[in-house]
Amino acid sequence: MRKSIRVLVLLAGVLFTAVACIELIPDIDSPPIVDSGSGDWYEIYFTNPTCPDEEERTGGLDEIIAADMLAAELQVDMAAFDFDAPPMVDALIELEERGVVVRVVTDTDNVDLSSINRLRRNGISVVEDKRSALMHNKFIIIDGRYTWLGSMNFTTNGAYCNNNNLVRIDSPQLAANYRAEMSEMYDDREFGPSSPAATPYENLTIGGVRVENYFASETKVAPIIGRLVEQAQSDIKFLAFSFTHEDIGEPMIERALEGVDVRGVFETTGSQTEFSYYGDMLSERLPNLQVRQDGNPRIMHHKVIIIDGRTTIFGSFNFSGNANDSNDENVLIVHDPTFASYFLAEFEAVWNEAKQ
């Protein structure tokens, strides 16, 4: 069996096999929940995209997530732009049979997948966005406490062929944010810019760490990221599947002109179009502004910016106009050097594999 995960960080002990301590799912309208400052609260995963044959695709993030979902006692919510990973499909069907509440939202472009049809045949209601813009989220909420989020689509290619990140976070407050977004899509059929900007806790503290959480395009996220880029003092590193938005690209070039070290890897597909910042950054010819195209023959799918080795920006949000203005997206910003160190290690791995 080929190793399918590049980096596995277990900061909360072993993968949870039970959640018996959870008695109810916190109501999103309840008073703020104070997360304990003690104990660890996240697990960070990166794929190792060797892209083995279908029959050899085992031991990956799809199986880890499926096992975590199967520990649910009350409810699992999933927002999946694309979804075909068999272990996760099987897990949702088993949960439905056990009486656990299962809610799924997907993008209209992928609603006819055999995996989605299989969910529906087994009694699981799947809501689609019915728009030309994308429902581009990739998140899962388990029992109103654990949230999975990041860049990885819940597919076999996402888990075994593409460079991706996923983070599992233990925080009822953060889960309440994602449950609110899920309810807007699943219950109210509100997506993208027409969705209400009603995140309960955009700014929160988890385990003593400051965290920001935003949902596009009801909230314009690109200017928020741009302002953080403008504050960079020493260095900026980024991994970008798509990078075309001037609110992020222009401040990054400006900081490089003012002496901040900037390094980034672009997904090769689309990086040489007139809209990509790859060409703009190359043309500056600054020694402290270095960009490369990725070395994965499939897809480098990260959407990550790390600022000054302490602020990590990640999620489903590509650095593009569509993500900012029309798609349904999510982004998390974590202000902590230890958290950032794992993304920095992934950056260096992708950088070293990239085309020079």
| Beta-bridge mates of residue 43 | 10, 168
The stretch 175-187 carries a mean pLDDT of 98
In what helix (H) or strand (E) does residue 226 lie, and over which residues does it extend?
A: helix 221-230
Confidence band of 5 (pLDDT split at 50, 70, 90): low
C-alpha to C-alpha distance for 242 and 275, rounded to whole angstroms: 10
Contact 301, 151 (CB under 8 A): yes
Burial class (CB in 10 A: 0-12, 13-18, 19+), 129: buried
Strand 261-266 vs strand 165-170: parallel, antiparallel, or unpaired? unpaired
Q: Is it the case that residue 34 has pLDDT exceeding 90? A: no
Q: Is it the case that residue 31 has pLDDT exceeding 90? A: no
Contact 5, 61 (CB under 8 A): yes
C-alpha to C-alpha distance for 301 and 292, rounded to whole angstroms: 14
pLDDT at 356: 84
Q: Is it the case that residue 260 has pLDDT exceeding 80? A: yes
Specify the higher pLDDT residue, 25 or 87.
Answer: 87
Mean pLDDT of the residues in the chain: 90
Name the packing angle between helices 221-230 and 246-257 (round to 10°). 10
C-alpha to C-alpha distance for 140 and 332, rounded to whole angstroms: 14
The stretch 253-274 carries a mean pLDDT of 97
| Beta-bridge mates of residue 235 | 261
Q: Is it the case that residue 77 has pLDDT exceeding 90? A: yes
Q: What is the pLDDT of residues 82-111, one digit of tens each?
A: 999 999 999 999 999 999 999 999 999 999
Q: Which residues are catalytic?
A: 136, 138, 143
C-alpha to C-alpha distance for 258 and 217, rounded to whole angstroms: 31
The stretch 128-146 carries a mean pLDDT of 98
Q: Is it the case that residue 38 has pLDDT exceeding 90? A: no
pLDDT > 90 fraction of the chain, expressed in percent and rounded: 88
- Give SS3 for 293: strand
The stretch 13-40 carries a mean pLDDT of 34
C-alpha to C-alpha distance for 169 and 332, rounded to whole angstroms: 11
pLDDT at 251: 98
Going from the N-terminus, what domains does the chain have, and what CATH number goes with each? 5-26+39-193 (3.30.870.10), 221-353 (3.30.870.10)
C-alpha to C-alpha distance for 105 and 111, rounded to whole angstroms: 9
Give the up-direction half-sphere exposure of residue 195: CA atoms within 13 A in the CB hemisphere. 32
- Write down the pTM of the prediction: 0.91
The stretch 146-174 carries a mean pLDDT of 98
